[in-house]
Amino acid sequence: MTDIVDELKWRGLLALSTDEDALRKAFADGPVTFYCGFDPTAVSLHLGNLVQILTMRRIQLAGNKPLGLVGGATGLIGDPKPTAERVLNDPETVAEWVGRLRGQIERFLDFNGPNAAQMVNNLDWTSGMSAINLLRDVGKYFRVNNMIAKEAVARRLNSEAGISYTEFSYQVLQGMDFLELHRRYGCMLQTGGSDQWGNLTAGTDLIRKAEGVSAHALATPLITKADGTKFGKTESGTVWLDPELTTPYAFYQFWLNADDRDISKFLRIFSFKSHEEIEELERMTEEAPFKRAAQRALAEELTVLVHGQDQLDRAVAASKALFGQGDLGELDAPTLAAAVAELPSAQVGELGELVDLFVATGLSASRSAARRTINEGGAYVNNTKVEDEAATASPADLLHGRWLVLRRGKRNLAAIELVG
């Protein structure tokens, strides 16, 4: 890789930059120390954050030094949301989340060698600062007319909710982060999402005024989906990086189910495959979309990257077993639980006729429809074909003493859970 700017452009990861030519020269003269910040406003990072983490990884692989900032200070405030004030979390909760997010980020960066990554926390330089010092040493460089022109602030000023002084001041703290990292580590570049552009340039402006030098900001675009739904969301909610919030199986399925219209974009943004490999997968999608080769390749790569090879193996095994290509009985309980959680399901207090269970899960519209499916040879329980329309389920049929996996035809799945 000779030019990281060209690489980011090819991958659709360069939406905005303060001075592209100057940034190219900085990288060429390199190495460049750069940072990206993550606020602990939740217990886990999500797919939107993954864009930034992987962008950091790309820039590091090009020979530059990353600083991963987890905002123990800014997380106590939170950047302005588009519509309403954030709920302020207590310091103990924020401190716990700082540790969790730090552990998630560290998995993706290299902490060895001449361009070793380093983790930082902005609470280290803000906790001892007085309000007077903040106003005198930092606040004097900010002009209110510029601050209210920032997109995030302007939206809130024009809303019924308005904006508090607390959230209005967020850009001062983020700008101070960049200045502090510049002074401590020679940091010359901040990366982030394009929705953070106002906060990113607050830092470059502050460094220019306070230090008399030019620093750089680089923003990635917000990811959109062809169907108009929000990226990183499913019917069950946000796709998190924490396996306790989004199981590795659900994570794998998210990428496996990506729309053909989106997969080229997703490959370029998230995959570390070469240009040639990605272009070949794009060609395969165009010529034989039913094979879903690109989705499978990306799902496998990212599941390994985020959760490890063992979790990918479990997710693949579960995916195959659900559709009759493996033994459901060989899946361990956590993997099976993760798989059935993604299916339409029904809870029952006792087992009975299979036709009733097919109706309960919605696989069949009525008992007569369920009987017709059975008689046509299209009904399966735990991948075993149901031969008798009067068949009943027994406790011996339950997987891990708890679940039945029902299938109608090749692709329609549902689950029964015995409770009580």
Average pLDDT over residues 77-84: 82
The answer to whether residue 235 scores a pLDDT higher than 80 is: no
Residue-level pLDDT at 333: 93
Q: If you write DSSP's letter for every residue of 216-270 in order, what string do you get?
A: EEEEEPPPB-TTSSBTTEETTEE-BSSTTTS-HHHHHHHHHT--HHHHHHHHHHH
Distances (CA, A) of 111 to 65, 67, 78, 275: 10, 10, 28, 27
Average pLDDT over residues 211-224: 96
Which pLDDT value is given to residue 234? 80
Adjacent-strand bridge partners of 408: 379, 412
Residue 392 banded pLDDT, cuts 50, 70, 90: very high
Contacts of 65 (CB under 8 A, 6+ apart): 31, 32, 33, 34, 115, 116, 117, 118
Is 245's pLDDT higher than 50?
A: yes
pLDDT tens-place string over residues 11-57: 999 999 999 999 999 999 989 999 999 999 999 999 999 999 999 99
Q: Cα separation of 200 and 178, whole Å? A: 9
Pairing outcome for strands 384-385 and 345-348: unpaired
Percent over 70 (pLDDT), the chain: 100
pLDDT digits (tens, 9 = 90+) for 112-169: 999 999 999 999 999 999 999 999 999 999 999 999 988 888 888 888 889 999 999 9
All CATH 3.40.50.620 domain ranges of the chain, comma separated, are 4-220
- Orientation angle between helical segments 367-375 and 354-361, nearest 10 degrees: 110
Q: Give span(s): CATH 1.10.240.10, the chain.
A: 233-325
**Type of residue numbered 398:** L
Does residue 1 carry a pLDDT above 50? no
Residue 2 is predicted with a pLDDT of: 58
Name which of 231, 195, 189 is nearest 207 in CA terms: 189
Q: What is the mean pLDDT of residues 319-336?
A: 91
What pairs with residue 217 in β-bridges? 190
Per CATH, the architecture of 233-325 is what? Orthogonal Bundle (1.10)
* Per-residue model confidence as pLDDT tens digits over 340-349: 999 999 999 9
- CB distance 192 to 52 below 8 Å: yes
What is the topology classification, in CATH, of domain 345-418?
Answer: 3.10.290
Per-residue pLDDT tens for 190-213?
999 998 999 999 999 999 999 999
- Side chain identity at residue 98, one-letter code: V
Least trusted range by pLDDT, from 158-162, 266-270, 313-317, 358-362: 158-162
Structure letter (DSSP) for residue 99:
H
Q: How many CA atoms lie within 13 A of 212 on its CB side?
A: 0
> How far apart, in Å, are the Cα atoms of 294 and each of 79, 175, 281, 343?
36, 40, 5, 23
Structural element, H or E, at residue 174: helix 170-185
Asked if residues 23 and 190 have their Cβ atoms less than 8 Å apart, the reply is no
In whole angstroms, give the CA distance from residue 215 to residue 208. Answer: 7
328-362: string of b/e by CB count within 10 Å (b at 16+)?
beebeeebbbbbbebbebbebeebebbbbbbbbbe
Superfamily of domain 4-220: HUPs (3.40.50.620)
**Given this model, what pLDDT does residue 161 score?**
82
3-state secondary structure of 109: coil
pLDDT: which is higher, 228 or 207: 207
pLDDT of residue 193: 95
Residues in Cβ contact with 226 at an 8 Å cutoff, skipping those fewer than 6 apart: 259, 261, 262
Q: How many CB atoms lie within 10 A of CB 104?
A: 20
Residues of the chain with CATH 3.10.290.10: 345-418
Q: What is the residue-averaged pLDDT of the chain?
A: 94
Question: Between helices 293-307 and 248-256, what is the axis angle to 10°?
Answer: 150
DSSP letters, 111-148, are -SSTT--EEEETHHHHTT--HHHIIIIIGGG--HHHHT
